[in-house]
A and B are shown apart, each in its own frame.
Chain A
Amino acid sequence: MPLARLEKVTCSYGARPVLVNVDLTLEAGDYVGIVGPSGSGKTTLLRALMGQVTPVAGSVERQRSLSVGYVPQLETVNWHFPVTVNEVVLMARAHGRLLPWASKAELAEIARLLDRLGIGELGRRHILELSGGQQQRVFIARALMRRPQLLLLDEPTSGVDFRTRHDLLHLLHDLNRDGLGILLTTHDLNGVATHLPKLVCLNTEVIATGSPIEVLRPEVLERTYGAPLEVLEHAGLLVVLDGFRTQTNVVPFRSHSHAS
């Protein structure tokens, strides 16, 4: 039995279908990225997997006692809420025990997690006093505090800088190497999607599934995004470019200024 399986899942908000006939199987240790434009159903797919949305058709099967960790989009977090890093991580144990304060074992586990994520000294800091990358790690720590078999991340690189994105991808690769199944959604084709072992191109329905080299093709991307996109290969990496620019031969500004 895989960790989770979606079979012919259709979800809708009112009369508007958001997902149609979606099939997806997540095995233990999988590392999958969902790519697609805004409104393509990426977040709904995560919510269906978590049991937050009930499909109108199809089925969602999860392994019995599957533990899922979830990292929300940073934009949805109330950063002015009075909580420290330790308090956020401890939220994962809302069912842990009746006493409000953390037990010694819980404190030790929080410290171990924060150390592993490189933010060991920040436990007593307020969440707003952290950089974007540190904030992202706090919410990954909270998800890991659940000891999940499957980690779901909603747009984890949205709004973060280049260095933060790089560090985050390394961190996720390390976690995956330790056996954690990971499913993330992303808009970022070049910065994130091309670095993942498996992609699902989604636009209400699944357009293609496979490795980046299999699915990042112009015809698939055009069906996914509804706009022409070119795919180049550079130093063993795929690079997705706006097809409109390549078709109209617009000269990049930097080349133009260099020539002059």
Chain B
Amino acid sequence: MNTLLEPFDYEFFRNGLLVATLAGGLCGLVGVFVVLRGMSYIGHGLSHAIFGGAVASYVLSVNFYLGAGLWGFVSALLIGGVSRRRSIGADAAIGVITTASFAVGLALISRYHSFTRNFEAALFGNVLGVTTSDLLVLAAVTAVTVAIIFLRYRALLFTTFDADVADVFGVRAARADALLALILASSIIATMQILGVTLVAAALVIPAVVARMLTNSFSRMLFLSSGIGAASGFVGINLSYHLDISSGATVVLVAAAVFVVVFAATGRRRLGRIAQVEGSASAPIPG
């Protein structure tokens, strides 16, 4: 027992635990929209695009969060805009914009070797090295994201379910898209130092996918996905300390393990649900 509680004596661990739990919960919350809008690949690509923005803002001596945030937001809007051209398609748009942006980052790093090491945390995550300002930014992004989703819940649900019809009902889908792009970019930036560019996408997608297997209700999915993400962060950091494994990787592996367990446990129920649907589809109409 003492061994389990031992790391709590260290401030860096307590901070790391708080940050990872918060980051997991934030990614889980935002991930619901990412998954239901079929944007999983965007989450993956955007984290790479933002890496380019992070390096560029360092070179230009612009505040990291401001520079990378603006870069990420513009990238998300560009992806959305280009993917609406059906001749190109979303996957190709993401492939072009995000990899080009990532390449900008790599090119700048190779040009200015002196600061290469500063970006290792952004690439691979370093939860135990987070600063107080990182924690404050993450807390602020989480609070603003929760507030936006709470206050714009109805519009975000409608536009996620059916953007075209939402427009007919007076809900501006383009505005909701921009809001989500802003939330997604902010969340990736706030969690990038903790989980790493390469693993943020998994933290966005896995909790939401697990939550989807557990519920058929959108509101419950938001709570479940946030809870699963936060729990994965909490457990992952503890395991990371005791097993001496990279923190970002451990958080994602815990989430992946939850996915495997839930997938196996709900297999029979999923089959039952399908059978129920087939049965009800041929049932007589009441009244």
Given contacts A52-B167, A82-B212, A128-B277, contact A91 B158 (CB under 8 A): yes
Who on chain A is nearest to B285 by CB? Answer: A133
Residues of A85-136 at the interface with B, using a CB-CB cut-off of 8 Å, are 87-88, 90-96, 98, 100-101, 118-119, 126, 128-134
Say yes or no: A90 contacts B282, CB within 8 Å.
Answer: no
B57-65, B70-78, B147-155: which lies at the A interface?
A: B147-155
**CB of B91 within 8 Å of the partner chain:** no
Q: Does B120 contact A (CB under 8 A)?
A: no
**CB of B174, distance to nearest CB on chain A (Å):** 13
Query: Beyond A128-B277, A167-B285, is A82–B216 a contact (Cβ under 8 Å)?
Result: yes
Instruction: Answer yes or no: A84 CB below 8 A from chain B CBs.
Output: yes
Which residues of chain B have C-beta atoms less than 8 A from A101's C-beta? 219
Chain B residue contacts of A131, Cβ below 8 A? 280-283, 285
Which residues on the A side are within 8 Å of B285 (C-beta)?
118, 131, 133-134, 163-164, 167
B171: interface (CB < 8 Å): yes
Q: How many positions in chain B have a CB within 8 Å of any CB in the partner chain?
A: 38
Cα A130 to Cα B286 in complex, Å, equals 11
Contact bitstring B206-242, A, C-beta under 8 A = 1, else 0 = 0000001001111111000000000000000000000
Note all chain A residues with C-beta closer than 8 A to B286.
Answer: 118-119, 134
Determine whether A213 belongs to the interface, using a CB cutoff of 8 Å to chain B: no
Smallest CB-CB separation from B281: which chain A residue? Answer: A131
Contact B277 A83 (CB under 8 A): no
Q: Does B136 contact A (CB under 8 A)?
A: no
Known: A72-B165, A100-B150. Contact between A129 and B158, CB under 8 A?
Answer: no
How far does the alpha carbon of A128 sit from the alpha carbon of B273 in the complex, in Å? Answer: 10
Please report the C-alpha to C-alpha distance between residue A117 and residue B36 in the assembled complex, in whole angstroms: 29
CA–CA, A133 and B241, complex, Å:
56
CB 8 Å contact bits of A56-99 with B (1 = contact, 0 = none): 00000000000010101000111001111001101111111010
* Min CB gap A54→B, angstroms: 13
B220 (CB) vs chain A CBs: closest residue: A82
- Interface: A146 (CB within 8 A): yes
* B237-259 at interface with A (beta carbon < 8 Å): none
Count A interface residues, CB 8 Å: 38
Residue of A with least CB distance to B166: A94
Query: Cβ of A96 and Cβ of B280 under 8 Å apart?
Result: no
Are B215 and A95 within 8 A (Cβ)? no
Q: Is the CB of B277 within 8 A of A81?
A: no
Q: Which residue of the partner chain, among A76, A95, A100, A128, contacts B162 with CB atoms under 8 Å?
A: A76
Instruction: Give the docked Cα–Cα distance between A89 and B167 (Å).
Output: 16
Q: Are B171 and A94 in contact (CB under 8 A)?
A: yes
Q: Is B112 an interface residue (CB 8 A)?
A: no
B169 within 8 A of A: yes
Whether B280 lies near A130 (C-beta < 8 A) is yes
Query: Is the C-beta of A215 less than 8 angstroms from some C-beta in chain B?
Result: no
Closest to B157 in A: A91
Q: Is the CB of B168 within 8 A of A94?
A: no
Kindly state whether residue A50 has any CB partner on chain B within 8 Å: yes
Q: Is the CB of B283 within 8 A of A87?
A: no
How far apart sit A129 and B167, CA to CA, in the bound complex (Å)? Answer: 26
A167 contacts across to B, CB distance below 8 A: 285, 287
Contact of B216 among A50, A72, A84, A132 (CB under 8 A): A84
Residue contact A82 to B165, C-beta cutoff 8 Å: no
Collect the chain A residues with CB atoms within 8 Å of residue B218's CB.
81-83, 87
A134 to B170, CA, bound (A): 25
Partner of A83, one of B150, B161, B164, B281: B161
| 16 intermolecular pairs with C-beta atoms under 8 Å apart | A52-B164, A68-B168, A72-B162, A81-B36, A82-B217, A82-B218, A83-B217, A84-B216, A91-B158, A92-B169, A118-B285, A128-B277, A129-B276, A134-B286, A163-B284, A164-B285
Q: Which 4 A-B pairs have the closest CB atoms?
A: A118-B287, A100-B153, A126-B216, A94-B154
B: residues with CB less than 8 A from A are 36, 150-151, 153-155, 157-158, 160-162, 164-171, 212, 215-221, 273, 276-277, 280-287
| Residue ranges of A at the interface with B (Cβ–Cβ < 8 Å) | 50, 52, 68, 70, 72, 76-78, 81-84, 87-88, 90-96, 98, 100-101, 118-119, 126, 128-134, 146, 163-164, 167
**Known contacts A83-B218, A94-B155, then 20 further A-B pairs from the complex at CB < 8 Å, ordered by chain A residue:** A68-B168, A70-B165, A81-B161, A82-B212, A82-B218, A87-B217, A91-B158, A91-B161, A93-B154, A94-B170, A95-B170, A100-B154, A118-B286, A118-B287, A119-B286, A128-B216, A130-B280, A131-B285, A167-B285, A167-B287
